[in-house]
Amino acid sequence: MRLDDFRVLPNFASHHFAGKPLPVYGTGNQTRTFCYISDAITAFFRVLLSDHNGEVFNIGTDVPEISIGGIAQIISELYGCEIQNIPRENMGDAYDGKADPHRRCPDLTKIKTKVNYIPRVDLRTGIQRFMSWAKEVHAQKSLV
């Protein structure tokens, strides 16, 4: 992920490393689920190496479904960041009011039952791993 692509975690990371508050657009009540890359890769391989190879599966994590404001709160608790609520009408990035779904949560019933997929990396651990990686990327860019 690029730290300037306006996805929620890179956006929060780039603001944190710049010493700026975490921007929460609108109410912050939009929900998401976050799947750590090792869980996604495990799911891909479980499907590819199963008798169900070639079928369509949702891959991701379905719990916890958490609000954007909730993610900001976790990062604030872990890293001591301020949170700034920004009204939707002042947004100039990917969180456009028309394009941004209020809820994103995959139905994993099929993948859980057919290939016994269970995500393993919990949200806080995934955030900590991501922030550690993002810090390295940020430090490298600062040296250039």
What is the DSSP secondary structure assignment for residue 110, as one 8-state letter? Answer: H
User: CA–CA separation, 139 vs 56, rounded Å?
Assistant: 39
Enumerate domains of the chain plus CATH numbers: 8-125 (3.90.25.10)
- Note the pTM of the prediction, 2 decimals: 0.83
Please tell me the predicted confidence (pLDDT) of residue 97. 54
Please tell me the predicted confidence (pLDDT) of residue 36. 97
Please tell me the predicted confidence (pLDDT) of residue 5. 81
Of 54, 81, 59, which is closest to residue 69 (Cα–Cα)?
81
- At CA 94, angle to CA 121 and CA 13, rounded to 5? 45
Residue-wise pLDDT tens for the chain (144 aa)? 788 888 899 999 999 999 999 999 888 998 999 999 999 999 999 999 999 999 999 999 999 999 999 999 999 999 999 999 998 654 444 444 556 667 788 999 999 999 999 999 999 999 999 999 999 987 777 654
Of 85, 80, 73, which is closest to residue 123 (Cα–Cα)?
73
Buried b (16+ CB within 10 A) or exposed e, 105-120: beebeebbeebebebe
